[in-house]
Amino acid sequence: MAADTLCQTPYGDFRLLRYPSRRDEPLLAWCAADLLLLEALHSREVDPGQVLVVNDDHGALCVALQARALWTDSALAVLALQRNLQQNDRAEVPVVWSTEAPAAGQDPVALRIPKQLPYFEYQLALLASLLEPGATLLAAGMDKHLSPRVVELLEHHIGPTRRHRGERKARLFSSIRDDRPAAPVPAPSSYYCDAVGGELRALPNVFSRDKLDGGSRLLLQQLPALGPATTLLDLACGNGVLGLAAFRAGLAPAVVFVDESAMAVASARVNSAGLFPGDASAFTFGQGDGLANYRGPQADLILCNPPFHLQHTVDDYAGRRLLEQCALHLQPGGRLCLVANQHLDYLPTLKRLFQRVDRLARDRRFIVWLARRG
Ligand SMILES: C[S@@+](CC[C@H](N)C(=O)[O-])C[C@H]1O[C@@H](n2cnc3c(N)ncnc32)[C@H](O)[C@@H]1O
């Protein structure tokens, strides 16, 4: 059954859609944690236009508040926000990417606690250096996703923190910035990767930032079996491990890296410059919803370890969309090499979209597919 789209908030009622969303989308574009934040801001009579919103998923907070700015890592969240602002006749809300520092000062902050704890800590450390003493930070999350360390981290970085009563399976925390100096922002993680011949660094919201993912490892083992390519895309690139390994193996003279996460694209950029300092012109980077806005040449090889979560649940919808985009952007005869968790059955989608599909490898957890356009 399709989820409701009318979000009722203390600031008015708004029609909100997710991005991406399916026909009869079963998931809401907001959650109880968003509503707790809006109710808390409203009851404190905060000027909504002064609020800095952090990690709004589909725009519920920014649309209702007509907020001062959104600080986010996610291009999908920004696409959702733009669509929902337009749909509700609201003015544009400026976006500050996670890789930049937002202006803060005395303004209130409304923060949805992110899934990745190191990213939460990174955001708190940076906010602590920007907020003036006395500024309020409200944070909220759904009970089932909250780490037991939330209060400890808020107190460590921001200041005295109150854990409010849980409501509708969500929880609100309020912190007041005190006058201690800000703790240092955590350094990027890194690990040595044989396939790229060096260290791979990654900012805190990047997938598998401190070790090689098992699926990526199985795909990397298949690189020698893939013929050379002229235009190679590393789709959903994370720290860039697949594209950089393919480049080092001499599979292609150039690589295009694409991810929806600002931190992923920034990390892939840093890694390409660090590992191949003389080859800057060989690498192109794009942040966005997969290949939806890709305007480069049709590819003859795409490497992809697709996302397997839709928010917090394992779901193949996010990956299937990327496969559809691949079919559109591969030239005739072009190949997609894809690694997937065994429990996500991409085979029917691959067979529908591509003329030939072969299984290249399989281990206990993953399968690597090679799909070819006719
Ligand atoms: C499983 S990780 C793979 C990362 C990297 N290729 C690796 O092998 O370590 C999936 C990546 O997909 C990205 N992602 C999710 N949805 C996306 C979308 N619609 N467009 C582009 N990237 C997306 C995530 O940010 C994440 O970096």
Letter string b/e over residues 341-374, b meaning 16 or more CB atoms within 10 A of that residue's CB:
beebebeebbeebbeebeebeeeeebbbbbbebe
Tokens of 50: 């002064």
Boundary (domain end) residue, out of 145, 176, 207: 176
Residues 172, 195 share a domain? no
* Separation between Cα atoms, residue 30 and residue 77, nearest integer Å: 12
Whether residues 129 and 256 fall in one domain: no
Here the CATH number for the domain that contains residue 79 is 3.40.50.150
Question: What is the distance in A from the centroid of ligand 1 to the CA of 231?
Answer: 19
> Per this entry, what is the length of the chain?
374
**Ligand 1 near 307 CB (within 6 A):** yes
- Tell me if 98 sits within 8 A of 72, measured CB to CB: yes
Q: Provide the 10 A C-beta neighbour count for residue 43.
A: 9
Q: Report the pLDDT value the prediction gives residue 257, as an integer from 0 to 100.
A: 98
Supply the pLDDT for residue 105. 87
Which residues of the chain, if any, have pLDDT below 50? Answer: none
CA quadruple 156, 159, 162, 166: dihedral positive or negative?
negative
Find all residues with CB under 8 Å of 176, minimum gap 6, and list them: 134, 135, 136, 137, 158, 159, 160
What per-residue confidence (pLDDT) applies to 304?
A: 98
Q: How far apart are CA 301 and CA 331, in angstroms?
A: 9
**Burial readout 112-144 (b: 16 or more C-beta within 10 A, e: otherwise):** bbbeeebbbbbbbbbbbebbeeebbbbbbbbee
**Ligand 1 atom closest to the CA of 74, numbered from 1:** 25
Ligand 1 center to residue 71 CA distance, Å? Answer: 20
Same-domain check for residues 210 and 163 = no
Total tally of structural domains belonging to the chain: 2
Cα–Cα dist 57/145, whole Å = 14
Contact 146, 113 (CB under 8 A): yes
Centre of ligand 1 to C-alpha 306, Å, is: 6
Ligand 1 neighbour 245 (Cβ under 6 A):
no
Residue corresponding to tokens 């803060």: 104
Please identify, among 113, 147, 176, the residue that sits at the C-terminal boundary of a domain.
Answer: 176
Segments forming the whole domain that contains residue 278: 189-372
Domain assignment present for 207: yes
Q: Is residue 262 part of a domain?
A: yes
**Is 181 a domain residue?**
no
Residues 223 and 279 in one domain: yes
Whether 50 and 170 map to the same domain: the answer is: yes
The answer to whether residue 1 sits within a structural domain is no
* pTM for the predicted model, two decimal places: 0.97
Q: Report yes or no on 204 lying in a domain.
A: yes
| C-alpha distance from residue 358 to each of 155, 306, 351 (Å) | 53, 18, 10
d(CA 84, CA 135): 29
The verdict on residue 183 lying in a domain is no
Q: Is 259 in the pocket of ligand 1 (CB under 6 A)?
A: yes
Protein residue with its CA nearest to atom 10 in ligand 1: 307
Q: How far apart, in whole angstroms, are the C-alpha atoms of residue 44 and residue 164? A: 14
The CA 289 to ligand 1 mean position distance, Å, reads 10
Kindly give the residue spans of alpha helices, DSSP state H, lying in the chain: 32-43, 60-65, 75-87, 117-130, 150-157, 214-222, 241-248, 262-275, 317-329, 347-353
Judge if 333 and 228 occupy the same domain. Answer: yes
* E runs forming strands in the chain: 6-9, 12-15, 52-54, 69-72, 95-97, 109-112, 136-142, 161-163, 170-176, 189-193, 198-202, 232-235, 255-259, 283-287, 299-304, 309-310, 313-314, 330-341, 356-362, 366-372
Looking at the fold, whether 27 and 121 belong to one and the same domain comes out as yes
Please check whether residue 139 lies inside any domain of the structure.
yes
Domain check: are 155 and 215 in the same one? no
Q: How far apart are CA 266 and CA 211, in angstroms?
A: 18
| Same domain membership, residue 193 and residue 164 | no
- Looking at residue 374, its pLDDT comes to 85
228 & 151 share domain? no
Dihedral of alpha carbons 34, 38, 44, 46, sign: positive
Last residue within a domain, chosen from 176, 205, 233: 176
Same domain, 232 and 355: yes
pLDDT at res. 196: 98
Give pLDDT, residue 314: 66
289 and 339 share a domain?
yes
Answer whether 220 contacts ligand 1 (Cβ < 6 A).
no
* Residue 182 in domain: no
